[in-house]
């Protein structure tokens, strides 16, 4: 149901007498609040006409086979064909198989990537896909019944017990965040597990005020205030829970970040860093310099910093961290938590008077912090920090844009690391298969581009399906893919001469720099993740 066909679809439905012009106006008004919803779906949600008549008419107009899909129409086990994760991402449900053909319903058959991805997955199983359209709400309703997250949550319990069960279930399922969101007709609870949001429960709209009140009470927030607030829940002995509220058009949304107290710090190698002790020593065992970890939000930068600090931590070394907030407490470290009244830059100035050997600065956000961090690196300290940018080489561009001089960058930046977190295929439900022709061609193309020989001889990859162990996603846990740029003399010369990142990248590749995609493909070949997940993370094809 292509967004470009919304208005023509509405006009055609009016011409056929399926709906009236007033119905279309109502649907368009609804769409202002829900802009991602298609007109056809909205007409169904608002029950402005017979849904069976509507979907069949839409099929005729869009020249697609159509069905008003119900659970009783599903004659196969969905998870035998595609994982729940794929089904939810692409809004697709296999529902009937016969004679080597499999019928699949989509919410949007114009989404070529979705249709082609599912088609190839099924073709690899020896099945020809026959596509249908149905309403997105029908697909969501069916898939939510597979989510498996709500079985520990009693939506009929009193509000205090309900909130408690939501939080405890999130802990059991390894969730990093809980989203409690007011919608038009209900409240929705979702968990972020391994970086992906999964539906957990839907609550009656009538309980919204009580739920909001209870969350504010246990988070130490102002009850009457509806502007954005930050709070903290300290009722659970093993967790610090940070709470953020934000008003939207249907009420107040809450996000709870679950931070486990006394969590074990993983080895840098367990995180997925290349198994090369010399590389680690060259990259991180420094003085008079700065190391920067680069990645978008939520890609594990802080976890990597903790692992590096743990690797370097010795009784004879004074290590001080400046964090917002302190997520893991580590014995032997002096850990400082910034607050709204004290910036990273102000804390860093104070720390420099405390005779540190190594300083961890949670994030370089501005020119002032960047310049002080550089000065610290130039005066005998080793500084570790993070920055938001897309790869290791773009760290140089980001520092330049913050106003740091090329001289300071070239003389002080020792190492920049970029990373992403990819989900690992679930060992309980994944199934081995041969690589597709498309996958082989893409891997060969990357190998040719970077002059690397990927050995696929006799190697298999994995399809994901979903089970209770992995919350029906097909993936269990995450691992990092990394690229490491160690600044050598040639690169320093290019930086101080203000050369572009294109020139710097060319020289880096000569010096052994390996891009993220290469590490990702190596982890696919080792069977840790698969091309589908790598594509989701890096948009390969």
- Domains present along the chain, CATH in parentheses: 3-143 (3.30.300.160), 147-260 (3.30.450.90), 277-538 (3.40.50.300)
Answer for the pair 79, 472: CB distance below 8 angstroms, yes or no.
yes
Q: Enter the pTM of the model.
A: 0.76
3-state secondary structure of 128: strand
Listed as own residue / partner, the contacts of 307-310 with beta carbons closer than 8 Å and 24 or more positions apart are: 307/265, 307/266, 307/267, 307/268, 307/270, 307/271, 307/273, 308/268, 308/284, 308/384, 309/265, 309/333, 309/358, 309/360, 309/384, 310/265, 310/267
- Condensed to tens digits (0 to 9), the pLDDT of residues 51-107 reads 999 999 999 999 999 999 988 889 988 888 988 878 888 999 999 999 999 999 999
Give the Cα separation of 182 and 188 in Å (integer): 6
Quick one: which of 219, 226, 180, 223 has its CA closest to 203?
Answer: 180
State the SS3 of 422-483: EEEECCCCCEEECCCHHHHHHHHHHHHHHCCCCCCCCCCEEECCCCHHHCCCCEEEEEEEEE
**Spans in the chain with pLDDT lower than 70:** 1-8, 145-152, 541
- Res 319: pLDDT: 92
Q: What is the structure's pLDDT at 1?
A: 45
Which pLDDT score is estimated for 7? 52
Burial 309-348 (b: 16+ CB within 10 A, else e): bbbbeeeeeebbbbbbebbbebeebebbebeeeebbbebb
Place of tokens 């007709």: 185
Give yes or no for a contact between 37 and 31, defined as CB atoms under 8 angstroms apart: yes
DSSP string, 146-215: T---GGG--TTS-HHHHHHHHHHHHHHTT-SEEEEEE-SSEEEEEEEETTEEEEEEEEEGGGHHHHHHHH
What pLDDT does 149 receive? Answer: 43
The answer to whether residues 234 and 240 touch, using CB atoms and an 8 Å cutoff, is yes
Per the CB < 8 A criterion, the answer to whether 139 and 155 are in contact is: no
Query: Cis ω on the peptide bond leading into residue 325 (within 30° of 0)?
Result: yes
For the stretch 167-214, pLDDT in tens is: 999 998 999 999 999 999 899 999 999 998 988 888 989 999 999 999
pLDDT recorded at residue 65? 95
Strand partners, 293: 386, 417
Pairing outcome for strands 251-260 and 239-248 = antiparallel
pLDDT for 469: 84
DSSP state of 332: T
- Give the pLDDT confidence score for residue 152 in this predicted structure: 59
């Amino acid at each position: 149901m292509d967004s470009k066909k919304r208005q023509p679809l509405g006009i055609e439905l009016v011409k056929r007498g399926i709906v009236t012009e007033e119905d279309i106006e109502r649907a368009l008004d609804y769409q202002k609040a829900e802009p991602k919803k298609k007109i056809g779906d909205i007409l169904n949600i608002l029950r402005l006409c017979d849904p069976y008549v509507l979907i069949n008419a839409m099929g005729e107009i869009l020249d697609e086979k159509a069905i008003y899909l119900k659970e009783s129409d599903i004659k196969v086990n969905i998870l035998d064909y595609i994982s729940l994760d794929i089904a939810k991402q692409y809004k697709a449900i296999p529902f009937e198989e016969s004679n080597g053909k499999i019928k699949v319903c989509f919410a949007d058959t114009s989404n070529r990537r979705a249709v082609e991805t599912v088609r190839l997955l099924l073709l690899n199983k020896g099945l020809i896909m026959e596509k249908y359209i149905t309403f997105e709400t029908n697909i969501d309703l069916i898939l939510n019944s597979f989510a498996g997250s709500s079985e520990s949550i009693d939506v009929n319990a009193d509000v205090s017990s309900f909130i408690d069960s939501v939080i405890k279930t999130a802990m059991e399922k390894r969730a990093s965040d809980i989203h409690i969101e007011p919608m038009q007709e209900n409240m929705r609870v979702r968990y972020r597990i391994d970086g992906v949001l999964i539906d957990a429960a839907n609550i009656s709209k009538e309980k919204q005020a009580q739920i909001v009140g209870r969350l504010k009470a246990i988070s130490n927030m102002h009850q009457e205030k509806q502007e954005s607030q930050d709070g903290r829940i300290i009722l659970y002995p093993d967790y610090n829970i940070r709470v953020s509220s934000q008003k939207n058009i249907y009420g107040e949304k809450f996000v709870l970040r679950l931070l486990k107290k006394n969590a074990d710090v993983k080895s840098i190698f367990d995180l997925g860093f290349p198994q090369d002790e010399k590389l680690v020593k060259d990259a991180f065992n420094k003085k008079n310099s700065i190391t920067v970890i680069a990645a978008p939000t939520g890609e594990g930068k802080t976890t990597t910093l903790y692992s590096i600090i743990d690797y370097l931590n010795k009784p004879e070394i004074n290590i001080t961290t400046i964090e917002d907030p302190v997520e893991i407490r580590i014995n032997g470290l002096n850990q400082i938590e910034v607050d709204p009244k004290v910036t990273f830059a102000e804390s860093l100035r104070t720390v420099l008077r405390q005779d540190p050997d190594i300083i961890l600065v949670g994030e370089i956000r501005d020119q002032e912090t960047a310049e002080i961090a550089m000065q610290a690196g130039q005066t005998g300290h080793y500084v570790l920090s993070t920055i938001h940018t897309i790869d290791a080489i773009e760290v140089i561009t980001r520092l330049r844009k913050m106003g740091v001089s090329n001289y300071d960058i070239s003389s002080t930046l020792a190492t920049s690391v970029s990373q992403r977190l990819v989900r690992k295929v679930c060992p309980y439900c994944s199934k081995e298969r041969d690589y597709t022709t498309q996958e082989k061609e893409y891997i060969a193309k990357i190998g040719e581009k970077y002059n690397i020989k990927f050995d696929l001889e006799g190697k298999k990859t994995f399809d994901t399906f979903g089970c209770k162990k992995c919350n029906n996603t097909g993936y269990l846990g995450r691992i990092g893919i990394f690229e490491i740029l160690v600044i050598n003399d040639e690169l320093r010369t290019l930086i101080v001469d203000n050369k572009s990142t294109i020139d710097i990248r060319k020289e880096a590749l000569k010096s052994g720099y390996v891009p993220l995609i290469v590490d990702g493909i190596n982890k696919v070949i080792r069977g840790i993740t698969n091309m589908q997940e790598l594509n989701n993370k890096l948009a390969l094809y």
